[in-house]
Amino acid sequence: MPPPWSFLPHIPYPPSRDGYWSPVTSTLNWCEEDYYATIYSAEIVNTLTNLLFMALGVKGFLSCRRNGHDSIFQVAFCGYLVVGTGSFLFHSTLKYPMQLVDELSMIYTTCLMCYASFSYSKPTGFRIFLAIFLTSLAVFITLYYHYLQDPLFHQNAYGILTAVVIIRSIYTMEVTLRPRWRHSTEKDRLARVKQGLPVPSKERQHYENVRDSKTLKTMWFMVVFGLSVFLGGFAIWGLDNVFCSKIRGWRQKVGLPWGILLEGHGWWHVMTGFGAYLYIVWGIWLRHCLNQRQEEFYLWWPHFWNIPEILRANDIHKSENGGTKKLN
């Protein structure tokens, strides 16, 4: 009995061969066969999927400049672009220096986001200390990783830093926007009146509570959706590592172009790239909320398959049916 995919038009996989960048000097070599498509790219799918990283990095950087977002996020998107570019070069060449550019830029960009998360509204002395600490940490990770040349060390360091940044951002989001965590109850209002502190009217406070509750709901969707995409990509990558020989056999059977869909590390690039982009956009929106400027900016994300963006409120047209349209 022929296999169920036999009716699909396909071409056999060309054999692996030496390429322009041979020999391999990286400490990692992924499940994709080397140089089967072109001698100029060791892993063609793993290389080209980084174009999403690079495109989103440029898009995010230009959006920050166009909409006046804090400069730390422009730097973060530059780091994001370097991650995609480094990964493009690494998978094209499988050379150790390009591997370092790929992996260490992930650490540096996460350290930047860590600084953005912990330095907000802190005194100058604390910001200087935090900058020195994170720079020292990045240097230590760089030197120790180069000494060990153990990918697990890099993956664990990146995972811990990412978890710290996300947990801190979630805490900040809840404390800033959840009505019960700030001065929004009647008891709090009376206490502020007795202390002679400014108190918004009940109507204004109700408006802010409703507004911030809606914002919080959307932000939580971004967090859950982004983490699901990110961790889903990580899971696919893990399966790609564990079952590499079997997956390679499946790819040989289905042929090209269908075998491209079984490139697990390529899916990791696409899914983690989008998940990381979502996190930076969430960070931009959260920063505007911290600055009490949420009336001036709006999340443009009409459907979950669109690329979200934080725009100035005057760049958004609300349609009659409640949807939104970006004005160019």
d(CA 266, CA 48): 8
pLDDT at position 313 is 86
Sign of CA dihedral 157, 266, 117, 76: positive
CA torsion sign for 173, 175, 178, 179 is negative
Binding residues for Zn(2+): 91, 265, 269
Q: What SS3 state is found at 164?
A: helix
pLDDT at 323: 43
Query: Could you give the CA distance from residue 99 to residue 82 in angstroms, rounded to a whole number?
Result: 12
**Is 77 in contact with 279 (CB distance < 8 Å)?**
no
Residue numbers in the known binding site are 30, 32, 43, 91, 265, 269
Instruction: Give residue 68's pLDDT.
Output: 92
**Partners of 309 in beta bridges:** 300
| DSSP tally for the chain: helices H, then strands E | 10, 4
In DSSP notation, 256-310 reads BTGGGGG-HHHHHHHHHHHHHHHHHHHHHHHHHHHTT-TTTEEEE-SSTTS--EE
Q: What is the pLDDT of residue 318?
A: 45
- CATH numbers and ranges of domains, the chain: 44-326 (1.20.1070)
What tens-digit pLDDT sequence spans the chain (328 residues)? 555 655 678 888 898 889 999 999 999 889 999 999 999 999 999 999 999 989 999 999 999 999 999 999 999 999 999 999 999 999 999 999 999 999 999 999 999 999 989 998 889 999 999 999 999 999 999 999 989 888 889 989 999 999 999 999 999 999 888 887 765 555 566 666 666 666 667 787 788 888 889 999 999 999 999 999 999 998 999 899 899 999 999 998 899 999 999 999 999 999 999 999 999 999 999 999 999 888 899 999 988 788 999 999 876 544 333 444 443 4
Residues 79 and 108: their CA atoms lie apart, in Å, by 7
325: left (phi over 0), alpha (psi -120 to 50) or beta: beta
Tell me the per-residue pLDDT of 303-316, one tens digit each, with 9 for 90 and over: 878 899 999 987 65
pLDDT at 16 (0 to 100): 87
Q: What pLDDT, on a 0 to 100 scale, did the predictor assign at position 303?
A: 85
* Annotated binding-site members for Ca(2+): 30, 32, 43
**Half-sphere exposure (Cβ direction) of 133: Cα atoms closer than 13 Å:** 10
Yes or no: say if 174 and 219 are a contact pair by the CB < 8 Å rule.
Answer: no
- Rounded CA-CA distance 61/80 in Å is 9
User: If residue 181 lies in a helix (H) or strand (E), which one and from where to where?
Assistant: none
The separation between CA 242 and the C-alpha centre of its own chain, rounded to angstroms, equals 25
pTM for the model: 0.86
Token duo for residue 248: 């390679």
> 168-178, pLDDT tens digit by residue?
999 999 988 88
Q: Is 317 helix (H, G, I), strand (E, B) or coil?
A: strand
d(CA 158, CA 164): 10
Q: Give Dmax over CA atoms of the chain in angstroms.
A: 84
Other C-beta atoms within 10 Å of 68: how many? 12
